[in-house]
Structures are given as structure tokens and as C-alpha cells.
Structure 1
Amino acid sequence: MKPFTRTLAAMALAVGLASGAQAQDRLSFKAIGQPLATGLIQKNKEQPFFEQFAAKTGLPIDVDYKPIDTLGIKDTEQLRVMKAGLFDFVSLRVSQNSRDEPMLLGLDLVGASPDYATGAKVSKAWFDTVDQRLQQQFQVKLLAVWPFGPQILFCKKPISKLADIKGMKVRVYDQNLAKFIELVGGTPVPVAFADTHQSLSLGVVDCAVTGPSSANSAGWPEVTTHQLPLGFQMALNGYAITLKAWNRLKPDQQAKMSAAFDTLSKDIWAYSEELFQDALNCNAGKDPCTTGKKFKLTQVAVSPADLELVRGAVSKTSLPVWAEVCDKSNPGCSQKWTAAVGPVLGLK
């Protein structure tokens, strides 16, 4: 073999070995996403982030991302699926998984986050406690928390105030909200988001609670007539990773990943707030409407009395109800919440 040929062969071998080493260093993770049916945050923020994960994070990681409603997995089973090691990342639906871990719901008690600014403070105050609990119980690390936005009321019967739901069946998604609806005089009915449109259409429920953008994406205004833009909860969700996957990363890689999820969550907080007002306009057939389809819902004015009713729910209903459940599975849970979150809300 001539010297030049030997040099080329050596270079080719070196490149091949280097490529092999790079391939070995590259990681492949699987992710559970939000349901497709939830709309624009999933479509425009979450899915692109995971599908471009290496570019977004600067990490040699490829992610196989699947929305949960394409997997045949219930959104109430996310923590169990993660603990079993079937996925590495999860876009965690907080309320839906609070039966398996009640501490989660401390992020989003009814009345605790009537607006985005308060919601951000509450989630920051409770974040570390939830993270520690998830690591301990499910071997899952919390990376970020973000909101769909204020969850409001949609009805297929005329309403002019919150008290008008008395005697009506209302779709809810967690026990905290269910207790509040009972307090107001409604009958709470647990219905999965994907089934709510049909439930409204068939009269299984008279009203339902979700964010205005998600309602628009799912076509709820086709089967309702009124929207009351009074925020019960912020519909907080989280991003989490199994400790097994997390521990495969070097410390500098962990720092990069944390920073990337922090950036993503801040982006979603801002985007969610933009969507909220625009979707209210779209649902009511008003301009500007740039993110959804125009409908003709009657927008009910929020009265000071209704606003006070929701804000007062924390001390009167949502905290006592949740505390009983959380303290039963984790003694001292509500005391920790009061110490951490109470000062944010002015509670003693």
C-alpha cells in the first residue's frame, strides 16, 4: 500500500471510530406529550421543542415525542407509567395525576391563582416541595411548571352569574374543582377533556370548565352558548424526567437541560397569556382574533361578587378539602403548603 493510500485509510478509520464514539454518546429518550386536543400550546411550543430537542438544548439527545392521546395511555396514569420506566420525559398533567400524588394539586388549588402573576408566584413557592416528593415517590424529577391559563366556565344554557349553575351538571377534571362546583350548587361530573365536546352535545353535562383557547381548538363553542371568563384554576402542568434518565447526564448536561426547560416554560407563560385574551375574543366573535376560529358565544360579565367567591374558595373550600387528602398520604403536607405558599396569598 502506498504511503498516501495508507494515510487515507488511517484517516477513514479514525473518522469511522470517531463517528462510532459520537453515535454511542448520543442518547435517545421517549416523551409523553400533552393531548393533541388541547390545542396551540401543545402544537406551537411543546411539540417543536421536543422534536428539535438537540438544537434547543445543545445536548446530544434525540427525543421520540408522542402526544398522550395517540398512545392509548390515560392522562391519569402518567406518573405510574414514568415510574415503570416506559418513558423518560412527561408533559405532566397536574390535576389529572393528583390522585396518585395529592401534593401536585397544591400547585393549583381553586381560587389560589386568579391571574397569571399570582399563578407564577404560587408555582415557584411550591415547586421544590413537589419536586422532592416526586423524586421520592416516583423517581421522577420536576423540571418546569407552566399554565394553560385561567380555566373558565362554558355553558349550553343561559347564565348571567356563577350562581346560575345551581342544579346544572358541570364537567370537572379534579376533586378540588368538584368540591367548589358543589359549593356553588352545581353537580360535578368528571369527564376527560377529549370526551367533553360529545358530553356537552348529548346533554351529559350542561356546562364545562377549561381554558378559552383549548375550548376553541376542541370546538366547544359549537355546543355551548355562554362563556364566563372567571378563572377557577390556572391549569398548571409540568415537565418532568425520570431520575434514571437524568442520572445518565453529566452535571454540565443537567445544567443545560434545566436551563432549556426554564426557557421553554417562560415562553409558554407569555404565550398562554396572549392566547387567553385572543381566544376569549374568538369565542365571542370579536376582534382581534388571530389564533382561533370565530364563534358567537355570549360573554358573561364577571361580577365582583363572583370574583370574591372564587378567591375566598382557598380558605373556605379548596385548601381544607385538599389538606385532608394530602395530609392523609403525606403527614404535614398542608403545613408545608401554608408555610411556603400562604405568604404569597396573604394567608395565615
Structure 2
Amino acid sequence: MNIRARTFAITALVAGSIAGSAVAQDTVTIPLATWGGSEHVGVRQFVPAFEEALKEEAPDRVDFQHFPGGQIAQDRDMPVGIPSGQVKLGWITVNGWTGTVPDTRLMDAPTGLTMAQLDTLLDDKGLFDALAGKFEEKNTVLLGLADLGPPCIVSNEKILSPDDLAGKKVRVFSEGQAAAIRSFGGSPVTLPFADVYSAMQYGTIEAAVVGFQGVQSQKLYEVSDHVLVPASFLGTTMMGWAANKQWFDGLPDDVREGLSEAMDQASHSNREAIVGEIDEITADYRDAGMEVTFLEPEMPEFEQWQSATKPLLDDVTGQLSPDIVEIVTN
């Protein structure tokens, strides 16, 4: 090869390398960290929906990467991991952020709100935007929410009233639930979601507060006999997706807008999926041999829960920001 040909080849190689680098720089990695079982609706349904929405909103601009099963962080790690930047984008249990974002105590409050009423507050009455502002103060961007509905109590000994929890070791996943269990005479135990199965199996705990769908994803029907859904007297299990603010703000404008839109689409479809499968998974639990009870107003235990949780409701309401209280009470 002569000098001119060699020079041309080198120039082409360098140009190709530069072009390749430019293409690589144009692609932005979106790393979603989740935890828990792969069959949980927050993983099984949401992740594919989010990935598909990303492809529509930011085609050829993002490289989506899913890190499941707590590879990057467990649920309990998110309130520190996301604000610090150790987690860029993660699936969260909003109730677990009370130590970081105090107004998330609302999700633990025994408000009596139905899932439909809470959705209306979030979408139409400004609750989502108000909460997003509280998260932003903690270096976190709240991107989407989806209510799993009231948490349930799984146990081997049947539980119907607050008195039935007296003297029992009960797994909880939020400060509000811990306060409730203590007020009933029980002993709250904080455990990662992934450890509930073994704790029930070996008797480390005698009951566990979990999301209703979590009974399925963790196969808790293998280690417990009863499920009680105590209306919203233990609050509601609000899930969400949040990002580190510096990382999110540093994304190219079009990618940031595409990510926000994809998250909005996927979180709303996740809400619909949650509502649509409650009856189905209730039948599955019963087929697996569990006794499933939904607390209803006509049951004598309903008034017992209402009376036992009234002081908790007053206490939580007194700790919320005035703008949050106004939205909920109106």
C-alpha cells in the first residue's frame, strides 16, 4: 500500500471511530432497578409496558436495562440509594419513605379511601404534583404511582380484629404500620420482602403485612393459611417509580421528556392491571387453600378497626403538610 492509500485508510478509520463515538454518545442508558418476585405485577406487567413505551417515545435514543431481584438495591435501600445517586431509577414502596419524605405518611393513614378515590386525588385533585414537590426537595424525581390497594395480613392463625394481633410478631414495611401494630399490642418486625417467606416458614414472625399481590409473587400461600384485607385501616400500598434528580436533570431534553411520558403511560397501565387482577388472584389464593377475608362495613370487626385506628388517623393528619391535608380533606 502506498503512502497516499495508507493515509486515506488511516483517515477513514479515525473518522469512523469518531462517528462511532458520536453514535455511542447519542444513546442514553436507562437502568431500572426493581426487587421482589418476578411475578409481582409491578415487575411482570410494568417493566415490559415501560420498555415498550420508551421505544415509542424515544426511539433509537435509549438503551433500556432492567436490573431485577434487588441486584442494585432492595426496597428498603431506595430512600437512601435514589437521593444519593447510587440508584438512578428505581421501583419504590412509597410507604417506606416516611423517614425521607414525611408526607408519605398519608399512605399509612387509616383514611378509608377506596382505590378509585385515591386515583382521583392523584390525577385530578393535585395530590401527585404535591407529593412530587416533596420528593424533589429530597433530590428525587417522582415519576409515577400505582396503588396496589390496602395491604393484607397473612397468618397461620386467623386474624379478624386488631385484638387478634396482640402478642404476635408481625412483619411491617412502614413506620405507620409499625405504630398500628404496637397500638394493637403486637410486636412489629421490619424484614425485607424477600425474607417474609422464610420468616413465616420458620416461625420468626407469626403474621406479615404485605401487598395483596405479594402473596402470589412470594408464594406465601405455601407457608400461611389466612389472608385478611382490613379495608384501608393499615393504609394503602402505594408503589411508585423515582429517579435521582441530578441524573434525571442531566438527561438530554428529548430523552428526559420521552422517559417522563413513557413512565406516565406505563404507571397508568399498571394501575389498570392491578385493579383487573384482584378478583383473579383472590380465587387463586382460595384454590391454594387459603381463607381470604375482606373486611366489610357490615362486619362487627369493622367498627373495632375504625375505633382502634382513630387515634392513629388523628396523629398522622396532624403531621402532614397543610397542602396535603387540604387536598385529601377536600
TM-score (normalised: structure 2): 0.82
For 2:309 and 2:62, how far apart are their aligned partners in 1?
42
CA contact (8 A) 1:213 1:280 kept: no
- Please state whether the residue corresponding to 2:70 is helix, strand or coil: helix
Instruction: Spell out the pairing of 1:117-196 with structure 2 (5 A cutoff).
Output: 117-124=116-123, 125-137=126-138, 139-196=139-196
Match of 1:112 in 2: 111
> Aligned to 2:312, which of 305, 311, 317?
317
SS of 1:91 mapped into structure 2: strand
In the alignment, the residues of structure 2 paired with residue 310 and residue 142 of structure 1 have an alpha-carbon distance, to the nearest angstrom, of 32
| Structure 2 partner of 1:342 | 329
Residue 260, structure 1, aligned to residue 262, structure 2? yes
The equivalent of 1:205 in structure 2 is 205
Q: Deviations over 1:80-127 (max 9, x none)?
A: 222332332111221223223222333x12323643202213444432
Query: How much is the aligned-residue C-alpha RMSD, in angstroms?
Result: 3.2
**Identity, % of aligned positions:** 20
Rounded to whole Å, the distance in 2 between the matches of 1:135 and 1:151 is 27
Report if the CA contact (8 A) 1:27-1:62 is conserved.
yes
Change (3 A) 1:122 1:176: farther
Look up the equivalent residue of 1:66 and give its one-letter code.
F
Does the CA-based 8 Å contact 1:115-1:234 persist in structure 2? no
Q: Deviations over 1:259-284 (max 9, x none)?
A: 21111111110111123221111111
- Separation (CA, whole Å) in 2 of partners of 1:296 and 1:186: 26
List per-residue Cα deviations over 1:122-181 (Å, max 9, x = no partner): 4444322222222222x2211111123321121111345454333322221111112222
Distance 1:223 1:94, change over 3 A: same
- Asked whether the equivalents of residues 77 and 97 of structure 1 are also in contact (C-alpha less than 8 Å), the reply is no
Runs of 4+ in 1 over 6 A off after TM superposition: 9-17
Per the alignment, in what secondary structure is the counterpart of residue 128 of structure 2?
helix
Cα distance in 2 between the residues matched to 1:55 and 1:132: 28
The answer to whether the 8 A contact 1:111-1:313 is kept is no
| CA distance 1:252–1:309, shift in 2 (3 Å) | farther
> Where does residue 239 of structure 2 map in the other structure?
237
Deviation for aligned residue 1:194: 1.3
Segment of structure 1 superposing worse, 205-214 or 313-322: 313-322
TM-score by length of structure 1 reads 0.78
Q: Which amino acid aligns with 2:110?
A: G
Shift of the 249–191 alpha-carbon distance from structure 1 to 2, 3 Å rule, reads closer
Q: 1:318 to 1:194 in 2, by over 3 A?
A: farther
Q: Gaps spanning 5+ residues in structure 2: where? A: 1-8
Secondary structure of residue in 2 paired with 1:87? coil
Structure 1 pair 208–254 and aligned structure 2 pair: CA distance change class (3 A): same
Which structure would you say has the larger RCO, counting Cα contacts within 8 Å and 6 or more residues apart?
2
Q: Which residue of 2 aligns with 1:292?
A: none
Which consecutive residues of structure 1, in runs of 5 or more, have no partner in the other structure? 1-8, 286-294, 325-332, 344-348
When residues 133 and 300 of structure 1 are mapped into structure 2, their CA distance, relative to the original with a 3 A threshold, is closer
2:121 & 2:163 partners in 1: Cα distance?
Answer: 27
Matches within 5 A, 1:69-108: 69-71=70-72, 73-106=73-106, 108=107
Q: Distance in 2 between matches of 1:254 and 1:148?
A: 27
- How many residue pairs align between the two structures? 317
